């Protein structure tokens, strides 16, 4: 039987970065993906790095986002050094715009939440916004400006991370799905794959929105059921589809990321203007709808009218891992040696560097360097 110290299930940004950190620490790591590494949400996302306080984040989740943003510069540098990969990463700043009175009032509330959390921002008048980004519609009334927000080319980053893991010694395997997590006596034994069992002391479930399909077994053994028990019908992590499009316009009409009511618009180094994204929970079907594309195009052209003349390049979709309470699932299972790292929902690209650190801490038996108690998978236990 094959043996590893740790098996990481899922080679998206989250799983690959964890595998990389553990391999760097000298662990024998197997990183499994049922497809090519990075083929799912991690390459579909918009790549925006935009932590904000507000109703979407509990305080520990916000702490993870902010720490991750602070780590991004060093993290991307390290990935480049480890692999030689080139990919875009820029602190662009981000404008959250208001076009009418109601949006301006909502923005005021949003600004108070940032102030309370100590997140740097500026309140800009419509004229200020137009001075900063002359292509924005004259209808703009106000904006919140986040100078620290930015973007990364997640499509390339996720490939580079799997390479970095492999170069650090991890055994990265494409097209080898985990079929279940093997347990005995209340602790993890390893992972079953179509090629047999890989026995391991620790297993990390980082299978994105499919993580809920990986229940530990055997089932029915008293005290031995992990929180992902197969008998549960209410899976605590599932998909939230996102549709997203790219246009092309040269010279690029905007420098900063622009967030409006219906879309986030960002200009990339390669000339693409990425406009995203819809949020449709509860479906594993990745079709692109005319309605989704029409709404994103309308929101983009409303904010930056010259985009009406941009070339349409592509549309695609991905499935965000969404937990029942929209917060990440990062922590130890009741089954000893089993760890969860999923549920990052709209912020998984942002959350990658810090999640890799805290999950390596957990696997190595250290106290995690950030507080993550509220992210425990045990909160979903019945």
Ligand X SMILES: Cc1cc2nc3c(=O)[nH]c(=O)nc-3n(C[C@H](O)[C@H](O)[C@H](O)COP(=O)(O)OP(=O)(O)OC[C@H]3O[C@@H](n4cnc5c(N)ncnc54)[C@H](O)[C@@H]3O)c2cc1C
- CB nearer to ligand X: pick between 42 and 224: 42
* CA–CA gap between residue 40 and residue 11 (Å, rounded): 9
Q: Is 239 in the site for ligand X (CB under 6 A)?
A: no
- Closest contact distance (angstroms) between CB of 326 and ligand X is 11
Residue 208 as a binder of ligand X (CB under 6 A): the answer is yes
CB of 68 to ligand X, least distance (A): 9
- For 61-87, the DSSP string reads HHHHHHHHHHHHHHHHHHHHHHH----
User: Whose Cβ is closer to ligand X: residue 126's or residue 348's?
Assistant: 348
Using CB under 6 A as the binding rule, whether residue 95 contacts ligand X is answered as: no
Q: How far is the CB of 250 from ligand X (least distance, A)?
A: 23
With binding defined as CB under 6 A, does residue 41 bind ligand X? yes
Is there a contact between 3 and 188 (Cβ–Cβ < 8 Å)?
no
End-to-end CA distance of the chain: 35
Residue 226 interacting with ligand X (CB under 6 A):
no
Q: Which positions from 166 to 205 touch ligand X by CB under 6 A, shown as an x/- string?
A: -----------xx---------------------------
Among 24, 42, 103, 114, the residue binding ligand X under the rule CB under 6 A is 42
- Minimum CB separation from ligand X for residue 47, in Å? 5
Give min distance, CB of 147 to ligand X, in A: 18
CB of 56 to ligand X, least distance (A): 12
Site for ligand X in 313-372 (CB under 6 A): 318, 320-321, 342, 344-350
Span from 37-45, 75-83, 115-123, 163-171 in contact with ligand X (CB under 6 A): 37-45
- 94 counts as binding ligand X under rule CB under 6 A: no
Binding ligand X (rule: CB under 6 A), the pick from 8, 47, 61, 129 is 47
Contacts of 102 (CB under 8 A, 6+ apart): none
Q: Which of 276, 292, 331, 337 binds ligand X (CB under 6 A)?
A: 276
CB of 213 to ligand X, least distance (A): 6
Stretch that binds ligand X, among 12-20, 78-86, 90-98, 283-291 (CB under 6 A): 12-20
Angle between helices 154-167 and 348-363 (to 10 degrees): 20
**C-beta of 73: minimal distance to ligand X in Å?**
16
Residue 89 near ligand X by CB under 6 A: no
Nearer to ligand X, 142 or 204 (CB): 204
Q: Does 163 bind ligand X (CB under 6 A)?
A: no
| Interacting residues toward ligand X by CB under 6 A | 9-15, 32-35, 39-42, 44-48, 177-178, 206-208, 210, 214, 242, 244, 276-277, 318, 320-321, 342, 344-350
């Amino acid at each position: 039987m094959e043996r590893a110290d740790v098996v990481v299930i899922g080679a998206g940004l989250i799983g690959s970065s964890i595998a990389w950190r553990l391999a760097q620490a000298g662990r024998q790591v197997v990183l499994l993906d049922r497809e090519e590494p990075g083929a799912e949400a991690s390459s579909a996302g918009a790549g925006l790095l935009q932590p904000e306080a507000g109703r979407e984040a509990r305080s520990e989740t916000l702490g993870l986002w902010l720490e991750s943003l602070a780590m991004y510069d060093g993290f991307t540098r390290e990935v480049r050094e480890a692999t030689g990969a080139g990919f875009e990463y820029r602190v662009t700043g981000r404008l959250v715009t208001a076009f009418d009175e109601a949006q301006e009032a909502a923005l005021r509330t949003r600004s108070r939440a940032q102030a309370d959390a100590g997140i740097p921002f500026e309140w800009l008048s419509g004229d200020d916004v137009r001075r900063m980004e002359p292509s924005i519609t004259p209808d703009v009334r106000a904006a919140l400006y986040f100078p620290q927000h930015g973007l990364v080319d997640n499509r390339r980053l996720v490939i580079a991370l799997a390479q970095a893991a492999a170069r650090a010694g991890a055994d990265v395997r494409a097209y080898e799905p985990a079929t279940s997590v093997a347990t005995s006596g209340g602790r993890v034994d390893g992972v079953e794959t179509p090629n047999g069992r890989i026995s391991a002391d620790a297993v990390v479930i980082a299978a994105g929105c499919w993580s809920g399909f990986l229940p530990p077994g055997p089932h029915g053994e008293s005290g031995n059921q992990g929180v992902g028990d197969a008998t549960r019908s209410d899976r605590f992590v599932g998909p939230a589809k996102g549709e997203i499009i790219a246009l092309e316009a040269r010279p690029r009409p905007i420098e900063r990321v622009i967030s409006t009511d219906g879309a986030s618009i960002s200009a990339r180094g390669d000339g693409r203007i990425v406009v995203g994204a819809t949020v449709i929970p509860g479906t594993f079907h990745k079709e692109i709808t005319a309605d989704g594309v029409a709404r994103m195009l309308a929101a983009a052209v409303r904010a930056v009218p010259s985009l009406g003349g941009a070339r349409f390049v592509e549309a695609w979709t991905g499935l965000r891992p969404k937990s029942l309470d929209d917060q990440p699932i990062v922590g130890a299972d009741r089954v000893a040696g089993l760890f969860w790292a999923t549920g990052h929902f709209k912020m998984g690209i942002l959350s990658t560097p810090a999640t890799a650190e805290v999950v390596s801490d957990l696997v190595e038996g250290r106290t995690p360097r950030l507080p993550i108690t509220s992210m425990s998978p045990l909160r979903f236990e019945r």
